[in-house]
Amino acid sequence: MDLSGLKWPIIIVVIVGIGFLASSPGVDYMVRNFTQAVPGEDPDRDKIDEAGLSRVAGYLMYLWRYERAMAVMQMAINRYGPQGANYWHNKYRIARCLDRLQRYRESHDVLQELIQAEASQFDDRVPNNDNLRLRAAKLKEVHEL
């Protein structure tokens, strides 16, 4: 059976699908998919949904859509709280988004919160306190906070 005639339709479908996922309706679809279940009812589903929201937020950061990425990370933080596996990493990424959006005071405040909580002990993806202090000090010095 010769399937070579399906090559181009499959390529087109893949490209359209990727384009859809990069669009606002595509992001809304992914977020809706990960927020359908009620938090706390099924721990396994909660773990999948929180990881999914965190991945969507990371994807949005990759697309330089920092406001939307922060909204998705904040949604994950609000839904799953400090018990969530990505709680501290999402907090750190919110600080990075705020920095990119030139909201330096807010970024500095989130970094201070991470330093006080010693977040790196809970999540290896968060830099240690020395690095967080250095970043906060640079923000303070460069932007005269």
Whole-number pLDDT of residue 2: 65
Question: What letter does residue 133 receive in the DSSP assignment?
Answer: H
Whole-number pLDDT of residue 107: 96
Residue 17's alpha-carbon distances to 10, 51, 60, in angstroms, are: 10, 21, 16
Residue % of the chain over a pLDDT of 90: 77
Question: pTM of this prediction?
Answer: 0.85
Helix, strand, or coil (residue 124): coil
What whole-number distance in Å separates Cα of residue 140 and Cα of residue 78? 28
Number of domains in the chain: 1
Question: What letter does residue 38 receive in the DSSP assignment?
Answer: P
The CATH number of the domain holding residue 115 is 1.25.40
User: Which residue numbers in the chain have pLDDT < 70?
Assistant: 1-3
Which residues span the domain enclosing 25? 4-142
